[in-house]
Structure 1
Amino acid sequence: MGQKYNRLDKDQAALLLVDHQSGLISLVQDFTPDDFKNSVIALADIGKFFNLPTVITTSFDEGPNGPIVPEIVERHPEAPFIHRPGQINAWDNEDFVKAVEATGRKQLIIAGVVTDVCVGFVTLSAIEAGYDVFVVTDASGTFNHTVQQAAWNRMSAAGAQMMNWFSVACELHRDWRNDMEGLGNLLSNHLPNYRNLMTSYFTLQDAKKG
């Protein structure tokens, strides 16, 4: 028998954005730069849309790792922002762990750079601490596909669920009747083909009104 379906719940989930820094992002080779940035910003938009408690962290951002991607902070200006002075594993930073605990949520949606280190170490530590972890694969990047697969396998074996940003949005939303136009617009901002779908929908709605 398979494991029980443990689905994301917008009232139980928090979003952790780990080390999406300008220097580190230059290391990402398993996605194209445009696709990766789109996925990261889409995930940040999802956190804002569902009002998820969000924690942002950087590692040694005054050094070569560089500053955080500005679009993340623009979308979450009130989120705790933990500037780690040197800890590679964010879970080794007391302020970061306290910020996560302060969310009061037991489901953690995690993405970052690089997948095998910044995401992997936090994921394994959070699972050990009793959290349910959902790793957003397309908003996390690393050196190549071999490293990517090894990191995904390691986290999966520990109990993390691998998802993409689109499935995160849909699982949190649950039912189109909650806010079809709101989620539809979010998706269409990041998926050109979905914009075509929404344009068709609005055209039909206007025709019915006419």
Structure 2
Amino acid sequence: MKDIDMLLEPEDCALVLLDQQAGLAFGIGSIDRQALLNNVVALARTAKVFGLPVIASTSATKVYSGPLMPAVHAAIPDVVALERRNMNAWEDDAARLAIEATTRRRLIVSGLLTEACVTFPVLSALSAGYEVYVVGDACGGITPASHELALRRMEAAGAKMTSWIQILLELQRDWTRHATYDGARAIVEAHGGGYGIGLSYARDMIHPV
């Protein structure tokens, strides 16, 4: 495995989406729900542009949580979510085996709720020797305090904290990488707030002499 301080490369990484379901999103208090959805969709689209394997897992779809949120599913239409019963996806054979089957040792994790269905598998994956990046702004907790405490616990155990925009920019790194330029730029323009507005302006309004 590469040195842990090296920048992320697409061929090293897999994206793990945990319980991105509306029934759980109703209980989120750590971030505006629409902002959360924006960030998760941006992250999912990023994985698709850069060719990352995506493992999605859901729980209690029939009795409480509902399916993978439609906007997230639309970003990764070929991904079939793996249903499980327990909070810790790492303790579910199908989910864990799907992650292991990617052969990627760097996991990028997004999910609900931060306090449980994110924290538990992250700690388990770290214990199993994986390098784990938790996308804090694509996770949601019940309260701001409990979300922050969960992030701190994972960080103390060795997980790296990051954001969806940092993941995208780290994978792109050079805007002359033409294979992913259009896709990455489109994601930033659609989901990147003021930064996206600036990119759109630069493309449409500034014409070099």
TM-score normalised by the chain length of structure 1: 0.91
Deviations 1:95-128 (A, max 9, x none): 0011001111000000100001011001001111
The equivalences for 1:120-139 within 5 A come to 120-139=119-138
1:204 and 1:57 map into 2 onto residues whose CA distance is 42
Rounded to whole Å, the distance in 1 between the matches of 2:42 and 2:194 is: 15
One-letter amino acid of the counterpart of residue 15, structure 1: L
Q: Work out whether 1:87 is the aligned partner of 2:86.
A: yes
Q: Is the 8 A contact 2:30 2:144 kept in 1?
A: yes
Residues 114, 93 of structure 1: CA spacing in aligned structure 2 closer, same or farther, 3 A cutoff? same
Aligned partner letter, 2:66: G
User: Do 1:20 and 1:68's aligned partners in 2 also have CA atoms closer than 8 Å?
Assistant: yes
| Residues 145-193 of structure 1 deviation map (CA, whole Å, 9 limit, x = unaligned) | 1101210111001100000100011111121211344322210100232
Aligned-residue offset at 1:8? 1.6
Q: Distance in 2 between matches of 1:47 and 1:83?
A: 21
- What residue in structure 2 maps to residue 171 of structure 1? 170
Q: How many residues align?
A: 205
Which residue in 1 is equivalent to 2:187?
A: 186
Alignment gaps of 5+ in structure 2: none
Question: 1:33 aligns to what?
Answer: 33
- The residue that corresponds to 1:18 in the other structure is 18
CA contact (8 A) 2:134 2:161 kept: yes
Measured in 1, the distance between the counterparts of 2:106 and 2:8 equals 7
Q: Tell me if structure 2 keeps the 8 A contact 1:152–1:162.
A: yes
Query: Counterparts of 1:142 and 1:6 in 2: how far apart (Å)?
Result: 29
Contact 2:189 2:200 in 1 (8 A): no
Report sequence identity in percent: 33
If the length of structure 2 is used for normalisation, what is the TM-score? 0.91
Would you say 1:142 and 2:141 are equivalent positions?
A: yes
CA displacement, residues 10-66 of structure 1 (integer Å, 9 cap, x when unaligned): 111000000011110111111112111111111111111111100010012111122
Contact conserved, 2:109 with 2:133, CA < 8 A, in 1? yes
1:73, CA displacement in angstroms? 2.1
Unaligned segments of structure 1, at least 5 residues = none
**Aligned AA for 1:198?**
L
CA RMSD of aligned residues (A): 1.8
In the alignment, the residues of structure 1 paired with residue 96 and residue 4 of structure 2 have an alpha-carbon distance, to the nearest angstrom, of 28
Aligned to 1:202: 203
**AA paired with 1:188?**
E
Counterpart CA distance in 1 for 2:168 and 2:192 is: 13
In the TM superposition, residue 208 of structure 1 has moved relative to its aligned partner by 4.3
1:95 & 1:15 partners in 2: Cα distance? Answer: 16
Pairwise CA distance, 1:68? 1.3
Find the aligned partners of 1:118 and 1:195 in 2 and give their Cα distance.
31
Q: Is the 8 A contact 1:54 1:80 kept in 2?
A: no
Letter aligned with residue 48 of structure 2? K
Letter in 2 for 1:96: A
